């Protein structure tokens, strides 16, 4: 069974063509920096590797470029879209309606559209991926895997807000959590690596960022809530902001609610602090003496450390912290900032190991560190493929 996995992020598309149930990856690739003139495209098969920098203005253009490569006469891996049995889509917000993997029909698409305002950077991109995939892979089953599903195990004291009860019972306003496929995948990898059920903190750092406290394989708390905007400082999203500041911006400064929403989602975070949304640019400028970039990196790491402290309390201890996703896996600088002066939590970083790059699970802690510090490459696509295959089987 050939399954195409499409993982549309706020500024990226990751994709894989996977043969199931063998989990053989036939091809894989990524487009990042979507919307910029310097978008990066990669396409990798067993025999070919293509990497280029080209302008990709939006997700639709990116998805059509991916489809063209899959069927290219020279480097393609399929001759016809009829070879694809299913397309698995990562959908960020499932609201209260979707807690399980779901075959996509008109009703499901309508509900995903209704959730646009709760995940304005993601659900529209996810929806675009579904629409384009339906055009390209006409005979394939379209399946949605929701980011919020893994966090359905949160206890009520963690997911309920201290607001009038009817807003939960009638309007379903609560913590949903996101990046669930990533947190689930790396926590299961860690459990197998540690050979025990553990108290784990997973730290997913990309253009979007989140953390989860995972006890015995179940999510018990997470930084993202009703929508994917609070918690950690992200590429363009603010993370935690006092609600009073929002009221002040609307009531006293004259901003409309839509303007504030746009600002907090698309003009804040690292972009608002530095003028750059890509961490590679921020680290480079900080190294050249840019004080705004250095401060933004320090703020980013401080926020992560603060949540580590709260999650150690929620878990009642700590066996391991896990860094994953684009920044978590590749930025030794951020990992060092986060782990500095954390010995009182049993977190002791080995600076030499921290600089090693690998696609495998690796420990970067000192031997005497009570808590393991793991770098685990996430593979949301494999996790999505597993769930799609289980549903269709």
362 is in an annotated binding site: no
59 is in an annotated binding site: no
Q: Which two tokens stand for residue 293?
A: 């970039």
Q: Which two tokens stand for residue 374?
A: 């793991």
Please state whether 359 falls in left (phi above 0), alpha (psi between -120 and 50) or beta. Answer: alpha
19 is in an annotated binding site: no
DSSP per-residue string spanning 193-225: HHTS--EEEEEEESSSEEEEEEETTEEEEES--
34 is in an annotated binding site: no
330 is in an annotated binding site: yes
110 tagged catalytic:
no
269 is in an annotated binding site: no
Q: Are 176 and 40 in contact (CB under 8 A)?
A: no
170 is in an annotated binding site: no
208 is in an annotated binding site: yes
206 is in an annotated binding site: yes
Kindly name the residue from 32, 147, 221, 319 that is annotated as catalytic.
Answer: 147
Residue 349, phi then psi, degrees to nearest 5: -85, 140
Q: Are 8 and 125 in contact (CB under 8 A)?
A: yes
E strand or H helix at 60, and its extent?
helix 59-70
> What is the C-alpha separation between 361 and 195, in angstroms, rounded?
14
280 is in an annotated binding site: yes
Q: For the beta carbon of residue 98, count every other beta carbon within 10 angstroms.
A: 19
316 is in an annotated binding site: no
392 is in an annotated binding site: no
328 is in an annotated binding site: yes
205 is in an annotated binding site: yes
H helical segments located in 267-362: 269-274, 279-287, 291-315, 325-330, 332-339, 351-354
> What is the C-alpha separation between 115 and 92, in angstroms, rounded?
10
Q: Are 50 and 42 in contact (CB under 8 A)?
A: yes
Going by the annotation, the residues of the binding site for substrate are: 90
Going by the annotation, the residues of the binding site for Mg(2+) are: 7, 380
Going by the annotation, the residues of the binding site for ATP are: 14, 204-208, 278-280, 326-330
The residues assigned a catalytic role are 147
Going by the annotation, the residues of the binding site are: 7, 14, 90, 204-208, 278-280, 326-330, 380
């Amino acid at each position: 069974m050939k399954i195409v996995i499409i993982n549309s992020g706020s500024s990226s598309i990751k994709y894989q063509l996977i043969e199931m149930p063998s989990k053989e990856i036939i091809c894989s690739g990524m487009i990042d920096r979507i919307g910029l003139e310097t978008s990066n495209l990669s396409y990798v098969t067993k025999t070919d590797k293509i990497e280029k920098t080209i302008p990709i203005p939006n997700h639709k253009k990116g998805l059509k470029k991916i489809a063209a490569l899959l069927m290219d006469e020279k480097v393609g891996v399929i001759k016809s879209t009829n070879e694809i049995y299913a397309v698995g889509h990562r959908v960020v917000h499932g609201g209260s309606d979707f807690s399980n993997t779901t075959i996509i029909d008109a009703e499901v698409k309508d509900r995903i559209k209704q959730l646009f305002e709760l995940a304005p950077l993601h659900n529209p991109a996810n929806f675009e991926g579904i629409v384009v995939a339906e055009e390209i892979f006409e005979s394939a089953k379209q399946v949605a895997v929701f980011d919020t599903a893994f966090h359905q195990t949160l206890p009520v004291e963690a997911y309920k807000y201290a607001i009038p009860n009817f807003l939960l019972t009638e309007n379903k306003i609560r913590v949903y959590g996101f990046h669930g496929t990533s947190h689930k995948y790396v926590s299961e990898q860690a459990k197998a690596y540690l050979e025990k059920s553990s108290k784990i903190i997973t730290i997913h750092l990309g253009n979007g960022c989140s953390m989860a406290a995972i006890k015995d394989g179940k999510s018990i708390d997470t930084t993202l809530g009703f929508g994917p905007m609070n918690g950690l400082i992200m590429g363009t999203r603010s993370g935690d902001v006092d609600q009073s500041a929002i009221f002040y911006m609307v009531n006293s400064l004259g901003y409309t609610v839509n303007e504030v929403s746009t600002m907090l989602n698309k003009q804040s975070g690292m972009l608002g602090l530095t003028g750059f949304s890509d961490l590679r640019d921020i680290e480079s400028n900080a190294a050249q003496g840019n004080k705004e970039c250095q401060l933004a990196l320090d703020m980013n790491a401080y926020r992560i450390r603060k949540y580590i402290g709260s999650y150690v309390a929620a878990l009642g201890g700590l066996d391991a912290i896990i860094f994953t996703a684009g920044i978590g896996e590749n930025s030794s600088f951020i990992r060092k900032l986060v782990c500095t002066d954390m010995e009182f939590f049993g977190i002791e970083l080995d600076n030499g190991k921290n600089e090693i790059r690998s696609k495998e699970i690796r420990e970067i802690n000192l031997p005497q560190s009570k808590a393991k510090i793991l770098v685990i490459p996430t593979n949301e696509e494999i996790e999505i493929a597993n769930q799609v295959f289980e549903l269709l089987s």
